[in-house]
Structure 1
């Protein structure tokens, strides 16, 4: 029942998906951008305490509302913690009507064939079972593409869809994220190969299955329109990938039907040192800019 309500909300609602899923590797940078330097913590536990404080401050802000925010992607550590006395996922769904997703990948393998595939996930079934105990709707997993290497990109997309099928079998919605690095010298060539591979894998999905796609904003406006309109794609969301919020929103406006799922661009300008009023004003401006770009 909850899943169907969440499915309808993602399919029909307006807004964007906030990516609050920085993990062990990306958390120090996220904290640094938030004005918390490495000397403020001396262990991973202390680091995750601090980043959870930041996330809870965002989520409990009145302007983090379901009028503009459709969903939020969580790191496992965040899912296991509480916000306002409830588990994070329950708080988001029950108190905010914002759909929770869970990042499930374990990071990237070493680069080969111009790509980085995902590291093995031997405990994925157990993690998915745990997610099902919360009102988590779907999952997210990330690979990265650097070069227009057909074999490498085929490997990335095949792995993503293999894992997506495992996630679908557990009754969760997978967000497939084969990121194209924005600094790739042949970014558009990578995107051409990637779109072909995604379309090929979509055709292999069972007729009653859908996935979501999280893609780098393309060099050519509306380049992924075929994916946006595909019956086996619930939603195509865009990652910011290192673009500033202003640039990411400008690019998003050139891609009809795509919505944002920004991380760095979403939290840009936030600081631990800000008063609650300053913090709320900053995050409200961010939400509004991203929401407007996602409406186009």
Structure 2
């Protein structure tokens, strides 16, 4: 299986590439960047190969600034974009990153027309929409990292709060990867027990935990300058699920066309069944009244941002 990573010179892109190589889920990987960053990704490829040799893993890793080299890729990861600084919101990145994502999505459509696009670039919900429209790909083959990482962060926080193994926590965050994320507390369970019936439920500060998840990325950026390992391993989860046709249900950003409470023409994080064809089914989730209202607010907020960004790109790109 061949996977290409656009933006492999960035911290998230290179970390995601190494996670994929280390997991032995790909046989060929292409690290792509602009010409000015070619030396850097060549160095990254050499460093990765040395590390993989220590684990007896053999993966063909090519560093290139020639985007024709992504031809034949099953998945193309778009991680390119302006890096987020501590004082920036994800939406501050929207206009410059939308131009970058649109440009690369068109190149993917030209050189790897049968691939699946996985968008990491923030704000990921809006960028997934841009990639979908710029590439002209069917919506099942354009997905965003979205709330998968948020859900993993939430699982970790709940597990640590109750001192229970993370595998026993079953929960999801949906909606926007940002301020309008929605915790599906009504369907959260611990060891098969609904959260509301869990004996220690009263000790759980729901609002406090949500704030921690919302600000997790900013907290890491403040401390070390960028998030790397969390997004990288989340990406690896997604790519492995697709390449191995695992039919797992993950919470990813996908284009909605009325499947969930009539919300349409927007990309949001929702549970999807993921397999070799990308998004093979959108899972309609049951929500309580508060969750549904919050999800609709998320849809409106992301839709508004998306429309604003798309209007700035009109005339610059031929959207499908």
User: TM-score w.r.t. structure 1 length?
Assistant: 0.34
Larger Rg: 2
- Between Structure 1 and Structure 2, the one with more helix by share is 2
User: TM-score w.r.t. structure 2 length?
Assistant: 0.32
